[in-house]
Chains A and B, each alone.
Chain A
Amino acid sequence: MSKPFLKIEHVDKSFSRGAMTNEVLKDVSLEVNEGEYISIIGHSGCGKSTLLNIVAGLTEATKGVVFLEGKVVDEPGPDRAVVFQNHSLLPWLTCYENVALAVDKVFGRSKTKAERHDWVMHKLKLVHMEHAKDRRPSEISGGMKQRIGIARALAMQPKVLLLDEPFGALDALTRTHLQDQVMQIQTELKNTVLMITHDVDEAVLLSDRIVMMTNGPSARIGEILDVNLPRPRKRLELVSDRNYIAARAAVLKFLYERHRFVEAA
């Protein structure tokens, strides 16, 4: 029996301030195989980002453990690169320098200067951003920033790529475009990906499995849906595909019927 690549085991997380304790995650377990593309979907505030940050090592779980290739995850590292919800590029660096900062840190010893330059340029090319390499984040659009964020994460050659609503803040057209690019990159690089999303179509289109979370507080994994669609997937052809429609319906049903978003009083 092969061990799962990434394993989240009985993770609880609560935030406490003084006597107040807010239990966000309760007994979350998930196993992810190498090369799998997993989406995590759930209503706003249920704890998706918290779960991702625990896998990234940026947040410590109250209880439970995360294993990556059998090793306990207890601190952040470039083997779990994150594309943050709000791009998080450093505004004083150009696009090239933002990616190069990661490359120099991760491959400073193992690659020569020329190799590192080629590596940065290759990642920029992968997200079609080599033309804007000398511009600063304030000079490019939201979609372009997100692409640089993805390039920076890919440049670390991570074991797991963690995407926190990478397309959340973008308009529908740009989002579609980036989803296609991510699919294309995925067929090429075969990364293991954990992606948070609000968007049902995006989840079905990109994922091998969709993890649906119940509403907080004490959110857990409600259901896991296998998406049985052959790759490469074509957006337009899928629209009338029976499996696609069924998967989409199942997620919608989970989100809007069984775990309706309850407005906090």
Chain B
Amino acid sequence: MTQSAAAAANVTPLKPTPQASATVVALPQPKKSLFDARTKTRALELAATVVPPIVTIAALLLLWEMLCSSPSSSLPAPSTVISDTWELIANPFYDNGGNDKGLGWQLYASLKRVALGYALAAVAGVALGALVGGSTWAMRGLDPVFQVLRTIPPLAWLPLSLAAFRDGEPSAIFVIFITAIWPVIINTAVGIRNIPQDYKNVAQVLRLNPIEYFTKIMLPAAAPYIFTGLRIGIGLSWLAIVAAEMLIGGVGIGFFIWDAWNSSRISDIILALIYVGAVGYVLDRLVALVAAAVTRGTAAS
């Protein structure tokens, strides 16, 4: 490098072009080593995020295995769980009619209920939140009602909805709806109340009509808040569906767990819990991913 730089310095006064060729010779070297260093740091970063959880999980499994391996223990050890439930793990989509279906079908049934109830809650929640956030009178009238209703535990709604709908399916969906809607309403309202005056001024100067204002200013400006509410909502929905299904019966991961308990299949319960946790995690990440994609650029000003 020093050589080529010196050469360039020597040549430049005579001809202006060699400078360029000198740079071409000099550049590739650092570029290559830089690339190597970058892949190395990236690999290290990946290892730093992946290795600690693997170590923790392995340690926990080991502890569990040791605590539950004695024949007198009331809960099965991990090795027993796997051998007991191997049929279920290997065939997630078998169907023997009635409630006797693979875990894939059970989860699918639960997810379908959550999808419907959550979608309704998202739409109604954003609309009601916009109303409460946008109008002082709507806020004064509705906010106290919301604050009381949102403290009611999800399952407490179930008997009432069973009485109203006279059927388990719509009742479960209603429980999801009523569980997920409060954080969506409240966060949307906060987001809309926090829209900077600047954006409202722009809208006024442009004379945006209410519909244009809603779609072009309100929704994008409140999007980070709305997604916070949606993310809390999906978590609560998944919590509520498992509990609700235990009571309404039929196909669904909640009733599967309850059924396993009634027939003392403890290993099945543990497997189902792991699946419930994994699905809950994936749902949360999904909403977070959508949020990140939609609100890109909104946070910074």
Contact = CB atoms under 8 A, between A and B. Distances in A.
Contacts of A105: 206-208, 212
A82 interface: yes
Interface in B160-209: 198-199, 201-202, 204-208
Contacts of A136: 297
B205 A56 contact: yes
Interface in A85-100: 86, 88, 90-92
B112 interface: no
The size bracket of the interface on B is: 20 to 34
Contacts, number: 59
A245 to B, nearest CB: 38
A63 to B, nearest CB: 22
A85 to B, nearest CB: 9
A138 B301 contact: yes
B217 interface: yes
Interface string B269-301: 000000000000000000000000001011111
Contacts of B300: 91, 138
Given A84-B198, A86-B198, A101-B216, A92 B205 contact: no
Contacts of B206: 78, 101-102, 105-106, 156
A80 interface: yes
Contact of B220 (A58, A90, A102): A90
Interface string A139-154: 0000000000000000
Nearest to B209: A105
Interface string A149-170: 0000000100000000000000
B205 A80 contact: yes
Which secondary structure dominates chain A's binding surface?
loop
Contact of B297 (A76, A86, A106, A138): A138
Contact of B202 (A57, A77, A90, A138): A90
Nearest to B201: A58
A68 to B, nearest CB: 14
B301 to A, nearest CB: 5
Nearest to A86: B198
A71 B81 CA distance: 82
A137 interface: yes
Contacts of A193: none
Which one of A75, A80, A101 has the greatest number of beta carbons of chain B within 10 Å? A101
A258 B11 CA distance: 66
Contacts of A101: 206, 216
Which one of B202, B208, B217, B295 has the greatest number of beta carbons of chain A within 10 Å? B202
B134 to A, nearest CB: 18
B297 A91 contact: yes
B217 to A, nearest CB: 7
B221 to A, nearest CB: 8
- Which 9 A-B pairs give the minimum distances between C-beta atoms? A138-B300, A88-B198, A76-B204, A92-B220, A136-B297, A92-B298, A105-B206, A76-B205, A91-B301
Interface of A: 56-58, 75-78, 80-82, 84, 86, 88, 90-92, 101-102, 105-106, 136-138, 156
30 contacts: A56-B205, A58-B204, A75-B207, A76-B207, A77-B205, A77-B207, A78-B205, A81-B205, A84-B198, A88-B202, A90-B199, A90-B202, A90-B220, A91-B297, A91-B298, A91-B300, A91-B301, A92-B221, A92-B223, A92-B298, A101-B206, A102-B206, A105-B206, A105-B208, A106-B206, A136-B297, A137-B301, A138-B301, A156-B205, A156-B206
